[in-house]
Structure formats: C-alpha cells, structure tokens
Amino acid sequence: MEILLQNNYLVVFVVLMLIGYFVGRAKERRHYQSIFEREEELRRVLAFSSKGPPPSMAVELTTLVVGDVVISVDYFKKFVAGLRNLVGGPMMAYETLLDRARREALLRMKAKAHDLGADMIFNVKLETASFGNRAGGGVKAIEVYAYGTAVKTKGVN
Amino acid sequence: MKFDNPEIPEGINTRGEHPLREFFWLLLAVLVTTAIIAAIVGYSAGWIAKRIPYRVEQQMAQRFFESEPTPSEIGDYLQHLADRLAPAEGLPDDMSITVHYIDDDDDVVNAFATLGGHLHFYRGLLARLPSEDALAMVIAHEIAHVKHRHPIMALGRGVTLVAAVAALSGVSGGVVADRVTDLAALTNLSFSRAQEREADVTALRALVRTYGNAAGAVALFELFAELEQDRRMPTILLTHPHSKDRSREMRERAAAQGWPTGGNTTPLPKWLTEAVARTESVQ
C-alpha cells in the first residue's frame, strides 16, 4: 500500500491508461456501429471525385455541402503512438481513428446533401488537420473536413 | 448512366490486430532497451565523473551548495572523530572532510555526504546512537562515500540520465518520457545500493582498525532495522539495501576477516547525550 502511495503518479498513469483503453474501445465500437448503419441508409447518395456531372446528365440543383468532424485521441492511443515514434512502424492506434473520422465526415456531408434532396455529390475532397502535434505533447485531436458540390438530377424526388 | 455504391469490406484501412498486443510488445521493447541504456549510461557517467579532480569538486560545492558550518561543541566533536577516522580509512591527505552538525527540532534521523567532502549529521540520529562506536561507524560510512567519490558519481549519473530522457521526450512525447524516467530512476537506485554496500565495507575496516572490534557496526544496523520495522518496501525501490541485509553482510565480513563482533564499546560522552536530547520522548 505504501508503495502505491509513494508512487502515486504511477497509479494516476495506470488509471488514465485503463480509462483510455476501456472507454476508448467502447466508444470506438459504438461509433463504428453508427457508421455502418448510416452508410447503409445513405447508400443511395453517390459521391464522386470528378469535377462535375457528365454533360449528358440533366441537373436541377447545385450547392456546396460540407461534413466536418473532430475526434480526440484517448490516453492509451497517445501512449502507444509515443512508443511507436521510438520504434517505428505502422501506427495501428491512429489508423482506426482516421478511418472513423474520414467516414464520419463523408457521412455528414452526404446527410446534408440528402436533406437538400440531392442524390449525387461531385468534386468531393477531404482535408485533415491535427491539433496539438507539438514536440512533447503528441497529437491531441484530428479533424476531417469533407466538401463537395451536391447535385440533384432531374427526375429524382 | 447507372452508378453503384456497393458495401466495401472492412479491414482494408485498419488492421485486425488487438491493440493490447501491440501495446505489450512495444512496451516490452522500449522498457528493455531503456534498462540496458540506463545501465550503460549510468556506469559510464559515473566512471567519467570519478575522474573529475577532487579540487574541482570542492570548488563546485563551494559555489553551489555549502556554507561554513555553524560552530558548535557537537560539531567540533564530530569533526575531531572524522579527522581520526579519515586516515584509518585510507583517505588521501589532500581530500579534506568538513563536518556540519544540524541541530533541528524536527527529529530528522539522517546523515549524508555531499560534494567536496561535506558531511551532514542530524540531531535526531545522534540522539538514538547507542555508543561512540556506532557514531564512528556512521561517520566512517560517510567518509567512505567521499573516498570512493560517490557524491560526484551520483550527480554525473543523474545529470546524464536527465539529458538522455529529455532527448527522448522530443521524439516520443512527455508521457513516454515520464515512464522511461521512472525506469531509469529504478536503475539508478541499484547503483545507489551498490554504493551503500561499498561504503559499508570500507567503513567496517576503519572501525575495526580504530576500536578493535565490529560491535559498533552490529549495534548500528540493529538500530536501523528497528527503526525501519514498519516500512516493508521491496529492495528494488530502495536507495539503501535493507538494514537486516546490511547487518548480515557486516557480520559475514567480520567473520571472514576474523574481526570480533562483540566486545567493549566506548560510550558517547555524557555532555553529548544531554545536548542532543529533547524533552519529548525519543521513539
């Protein structure tokens, strides 16, 4: 017991790691569930990277739509990333983070387009930014920003 | 024109590996590497620090830490004892010892040696020592630290490790650097324990040479063992070995050298025991 009290900073570290791991994992799982569901719902909204619809397509509405999400890194992921920085190799911890953020941003953009009655989005682009990322701090949060031109083709309600 | 938006299979942009597995292997690799590097750095930093001339060490002490000891009868008595024990220990003549007696009411039980041969003794320790032999063992132990250049070696090790960890924190971030510091500190502690054992051995020889027996050392470590009875920390977290281990090593060494562990001990002068006592009971 005295050992724990004398090294209380170590206890704090372990508690933070446990919170980061368990809560982080649970949140990630729930987020992915939500992503799968909404990807199914919005499957009809198509996203293209080409600049505009083919000339043959009759188009009713064009407007900018944007999807934006900021996700923070939990303590556990940050620690593992710090170790990776030393050893090198793929940062698995951040791979799921970015995957979620990209898909979330795209889904939010598609949801906006769907609300407008559009069924296609052209010129879709993604931009990523990270907060923190100073030496000694590590990345605190990442943001993914998806934007494109929503288009309603004639004949679609 | 017909477009399709099929369901893309999962696991292309992410791996399936369990995050705990990655964590475990990475942590193991980093900790093992840290332990090895800390040991190498610690050893070589100590080796280099030892070669700093004693004069330079004394100048450092003068500049940063020490002031003249406050004159006192007890201080003079301790200095006199130290001057008797130093040549018995083989301390070179050009290495001087300066004794500081700290007369505080806080009942701190401690004694230590710092740079430049400055030894410090607290009233609380003096109030508990059973004999002059035991006091001589404490003084001889601290002189042994000076003789072996332990203070400057410890300083060199500490400074080097801090610099190494600072370099690490630029790469990995503060959180990893904190854990690496913890492990480096643990490695440092094992160096500290080795130094304590070395000082014990040197001091024992000087004690026997001066008083004819090792009774003072036995009594001293019995006292320490009694004082630390309620603190059962594992050895790996301690700066000193457990007192009962130190006591055992002293008796084994005395037996090996044929030094008597029993016999008459010189009592502390009465004026001293009265001067260090306080009205509150001494535990």
What pLDDT score does A146 carry? 97
Interface A:B, Cβ pairs < 8 A: 95
Q: Write the pLDDT tens digit of every residue in A25-68.
A: 999 999 999 999 999 999 999 999 999 888 888 888 889 999 99
Q: Rounded to whole angstroms, how far apart are CA atoms B38 and B188?
A: 8
What pLDDT score does A19 carry? 92
The alpha carbon of B256 is separated from its chain's Cα centroid by a whole number of angstroms, namely 26
Q: Write the pLDDT tens digit of every residue in B28-43.
A: 998 888 888 888 888 8
Measured in angstroms, the CA of A125 and the nearest CA of chain B are apart by 18
* Residue position matching structure tokens 């597995």: B21
* Residue position matching structure tokens 């001066």: B210
* pLDDT > 70? residue A3: no
Ranges under pLDDT 70 in chain B: 1, 65-66, 230-232, 278-283
- From the list B122, B117, B101, B125, the residue with the least C-alpha distance to B150 is B117
What pLDDT score does B66 carry? 65
Q: Are the beta carbons of B187 and B37 closer than 8 angstroms?
A: no
Q: Do A79 and B176 touch (CB under 8 A)?
A: yes
* pLDDT > 90? residue A157: no
Measured in angstroms, the CA of A5 and the nearest CA of chain B are apart by 12
Q: Write the pLDDT tens digit of every residue in A95-131.
A: 899 999 999 999 999 999 999 999 999 999 999 998 8
Q: What is the ipTM of this complex?
A: 0.77
Q: Write the pLDDT tens digit of every residue in B53-62.
A: 998 888 888 8
- Interchain contact B14–A (C-beta under 8 A): yes
What pLDDT score does A101 carry? 96
Non-local (6+) Cβ contacts of B273 within 8 A are B127
> Is the pTM for the entire model greater than 0.95?
no
Q: Which residues of B touch A10 (CB under 8 A)?
A: 182
What pLDDT score does A136 carry? 56
What pLDDT score does B245 carry? 87
Q: Do B19 and A93 touch (CB under 8 A)?
A: yes
